[in-house]
Amino acid sequence: MSVRVLLLLMVFHAPSALAAEADPLQSVMWEYHHKGLLNSEPYVFDERVKVQVPPFAEDSRQVPVHIDARALGDEVVRIEAWADPNPIPRIFTFTPGEQVVPLVAIRIRVEQATPIRAAVLTRDGVWHIGSAKVDAAGGGCTAPSVVRAQPGWEDRLGEVIGGRFARGDFSRLRLQVSHPMDNGLVGGIPEFFLNQAELRDADGQVLAELELYPAVAENPSLSLEVKGAQDTRLWLRDNNGNEFEAAL
Amino acid sequence: MRLLLLMFAFCLTLPAHAELRYTLQPRQIADDVWLLEGSTDNFDKANGGNIVNTGFIVTAAGVVVIDSGPSRRYGEAMRAAIASVTDRPVIKLLLTHHHPDHVLGNQAFADVPIAALAGTTELLREQGNAMAENMYRLVGDWMRGTEVVLPSETLAPGTLEIGGRSLRLLALRGHTGADLAILDERSGVLFAGDILFYQRALTTPNSPGLDVWLEDLDTLEALPWKRLVAGHGPVADDAAPFVQMRDYLGWLDGLLRDAASGGADMNEVIQSPIPERFAGISLTRYELIRSVSHLYPRYEAMALQRVDE
Ligand SMILES: [Zn+2]
């Protein structure tokens, strides 16, 4: 082995050995969000937290994000999701109860190429971080509203289309809500977005809580999974106090 | 110091040495019918967006050009390529549809009528600037000086008699909503525009629906063509491009339909296996990712019902 190759190998090996907990995506924003969103609490980068995004955003206003922490099983307490450099980084906070699977699929807006993070808090107080990167021409956060350009959108506000799909022992719930999800960054239109959702059982008991932030795309698309085949209802509220409900 | 100056001089002259130049080699595919064949790759800074097929027909009255390539520089190179095989003047440019790789070279044809379907002009008016911007991002300096020029003439379907030749014009919709195909009746060469992709995955950003596209294929295949020029991919003398298009469109339609009725999320759909028989088609995974973004929401909407109360 030549000296040059040896040197090269050393250069490549040294950092990975030194920094086991270094951000695998090397985002300059990691420490900032660790402090701001995770309150500087203990964390590990954990490949069991699967974040799936397309390699590039064909439409920066509707980027699909699929977060799956099933490998952490019943230890999951809460999931925080965000896009590192977005003007509005936060995507959602998800608190699944015992009957709900730690899995969320949702579509978001991105302003530029970005890491997408899912931080999964387990019962022992540790955050397990999963990441993925999506390339983007960008501008999704500041693009004019598609919903508001459609005549009569106000009449459709809060309409929900949805379905329930068997997935082995689970049921996947998919739905899409008509809502402009104004993020306050476009054309002087103030923030107007769905910020709260609850999945409830037939008796109104809360099965899971979901807080949403305006990084979520217009007409939000959402997939969740529940154990068994019980009837569920989704309750939604926006920051103007409008409430909507759907049966799944 | 001398070395430093030399290096400085070298840096200054570098751009001139690195002059970006399209190599356009006109190939005769029938009497007086010529093709400029692009690659089946994606846009990048190495190819300057020369991934498209353009062509021209030399008539008694002058040259009719079909599509003008991705950039002003391409359009200029195309004019030079045309002049290398005929002394006749260019008299008309026909644009098959509004996509940037087919139209943005039209600045080089500003001295002749630029003709397109009305829908193409409308789409170019709406989307031209954004598409041009995206092209600058994808291929960089090749685009220098390129600006959107809107067509100056509106085409209607029917027969265009020009310089003793009959060109049958078909107004189709499957690829963008306004797609022109041109059959040169004398030679039987069919310029199908992007209704046909061959050995290159089709693109769907403006498609009104894969069912519409499939109908267009029937319309085109029924014409008395002898030679097929796809918008992207090699020339064919048999129906192979039609067979491949139907197979691929049918697969894509079925994939999206089954995924939606099974409750799949977009990220699951883009990872779907691509059948082995499409292995010879370039960019299938890349275009599947794009098509899921363009088309999957419609399939989802069909698979979901109103559930609000
Ligand atoms: Zn096209």
Quick one: A87 exposed, middle or buried, by C-beta within 10 A (0-12, 13-18, 19+)?
A: middle
pLDDT band of A26, cuts 50, 70, 90: confident
Average pLDDT in the B69-83 region?
Answer: 96
Task: Tell me the mean pLDDT in the region A27-48.
Answer: 93
How crowded is residue A116: how many other Cβ atoms within 10 Å of its Cβ?
25
Q: Say yes or no to pLDDT of B14 above 80.
A: no
Please report the pLDDT score of residue B43 as a whole number: 84
Residue B77 parent element (H or E): helix B72-83
What number is the average pLDDT over the span A153-179?
A: 94
| CA distance linking residue A27 with residue A29, whole number of Å | 5
> Between residues B51 and B220, which one has the greater pLDDT?
B220
Triad A71, A34, A115: Cα angle to 5°: 65
The percentage of chain B sitting over the pLDDT mark of 90, rounded to a whole number, equals 84
pLDDT value for A5: 41
Would residue B10 count as lying in a domain?
Answer: no
Q: Which of A198, A29, A193, A200 is nearest to A108 (CA)?
A: A193
pLDDT tens profile A115-156: 999 999 999 999 999 999 999 887 788 888 888 889 899 999
Helix (H) or strand (E) holding B107: none
Q: What is the pLDDT of residue B20?
A: 84
Q: How many distinct structural domains can be found in chain B?
A: 1
Q: How confident is the model at residue B15 (pLDDT cuts 50, 70, 90)?
A: very low
ipTM field: 0.89
Average pLDDT in the B281-291 region? 96
Q: Using a CB–CB cutoff of 8 Å, tell me whether B266 touches chain A.
A: yes
> Percent helix, strand and coil across chain B, each rounded to 5?
40, 20, 40
Say if B198 falls within a structural domain. yes
Q: How far is CA B160 from the centre of its chain?
A: 22
Considering only CB atoms, B134 lies closest to which of A137, A162, A221, namely A137
Give the pLDDT confidence of B235-270 residue by residue, as tens digits: 999 999 999 999 999 999 999 999 999 999 999 999
Q: What is the per-residue pLDDT for A128? A: 97
- B191 phi and psi angles, rounded to 5 deg: -85, 105
Question: Min CA distance, B59 vs chain A (Å)?
Answer: 42
Q: Give me the residue from B137, B267, B294 closest to A66, CB to CB.
A: B267
Assess whether pLDDT exceeds 80 at residue B224.
yes
- Picking from A117, A137, A155, the residue whose alpha carbon sits closest to that of residue A58 is A137
Question: Is residue B309 over pLDDT 90?
Answer: no
**Sequence spans of domains, chain A:** 22-247
Give the model's pLDDT for residue B47: 86
Distance CA A52, CA B142 (A): 34
pLDDT tens digits, one per residue of A76-122: 999 999 998 888 899 999 999 999 999 999 999 998 999 999 999 99
Of A54, A56, A160, the CB nearest to B267: A54
Which of A159-168, A230-239, B37-46, B125-134 comes out lowest in average pLDDT? B37-46
DSSP string, A182-215: B-S-STTPPPB-EEEEEEEETTS-EEEEEEE-TT
A64/B262 touch (CB, cutoff 8 Å), yes or no? no
Do B291 and B204 contact (CB within 8 A), yes or no? Answer: yes
| H or E element in which residue B103 lies | helix B100-103
Find chain B residues with C-beta within 8 A of A59's C-beta: 293-294
Q: Is residue B183's pLDDT more than 90?
A: yes
* pLDDT bracket for residue B45 (50, 70, 90): confident
Candidates 2.60.40.420, 2.60.40.2470, 2.60.200.20, 3.30.365.10; correct CATH number of A22-247? Answer: 2.60.40.2470
Distances, alpha carbon B152 to alpha carbons B57, B110, B118, B135, in Å = 20, 9, 10, 23
Q: Give residue B308's pLDDT band: very low, low, confident or very high (50, 70, 90).
A: very high
pLDDT at A143: 81
Count residue pairs from A and B with Cβ separation < 8 A: 78
Instruction: Tell me the average pLDDT across A3-18.
Output: 40
B163-181 tens-digit pLDDT:
999 999 999 999 999 999 9
Task: Output the average pLDDT for chain B.
Answer: 93
- B250 domain residue, yes or no: no
Q: How confident is the model at residue B18 (pLDDT cuts 50, 70, 90)?
A: low
- Give the HSE-up count for residue A227: Cα atoms under 13 Å, Cβ half-sphere: 12
Q: Check residue A13 and give its pLDDT.
A: 39
Pairing of strands A221-227, A170-177: antiparallel
Which pLDDT band holds residue B10 (cuts at 50, 70, 90)?
Answer: very low
**CB neighbour class for B11 (10 Å; exposed up to 12, middle 13-18, buried from 19):** exposed
Q: How far is the CA of B195 from the centre of ligand 1 (A)?
A: 8
Question: Does residue A18 have a pLDDT over 50?
Answer: no
Which residues 6+ apart lie within 8 Å of B75 measured at CB?
A: B68, B69, B104, B105, B106, B107, B108, B109
Q: For residue A248, give how far its alpha carbon lies from the nearest alpha carbon of chain B (Å).
A: 7
Q: Which domain holds residue B209?
A: 20-239
Band (pLDDT 50/70/90 cuts) for residue B199 is: very high
pLDDT of A14 higher than 60? no
CA distance B271 to chain A (A): 9
Q: For position B111, what pLDDT does the model report? A: 97
Beta pairing partners, A167: A170
Decide if B287 touches A, using CB distance below 8 A: no
Q: Does B15 touch chain A (CB under 8 A)?
A: no
Q: Retrieve residue B105's tokens.
A: 């070279």
For residues B46 and B44, what is the distance between their CA atoms, to the nearest angstrom? 5
Q: Residue B19: its pLDDT value, please?
A: 76
Q: Which of residues B62 and A25 earns the better pLDDT score?
A: B62
Closest Cβ–Cβ partner in B289, B300, B308 for A160: B308
- The whole-number average pLDDT for the span A53-68 is 96
Let me know if residue B131 belongs to a domain.
yes
Residue B256 belongs to a domain: no
With beta carbons under 8 A apart, name residues in chain A contacting B267.
Answer: 52-54, 64-66, 105
Indicate the helix (H) or strand (E) that contains B289. helix B284-303
Question: What's the average model confidence in pLDDT over B117-123?
Answer: 98
pLDDT at res. A140: 81
Q: Average pLDDT for residues B79-92, to the nearest whole number?
A: 98
Backbone torsions φ then ψ of A242, nearest 5 degrees: -70, 135
Residue B138, domain CATH: 3.60.15.10
Q: Closest approach of chain A CAs to the CA of B71, in angstroms?
A: 20
Of A26-40, A117-131, A139-153, B215-229, the one with minimum mean pLDDT is: A139-153
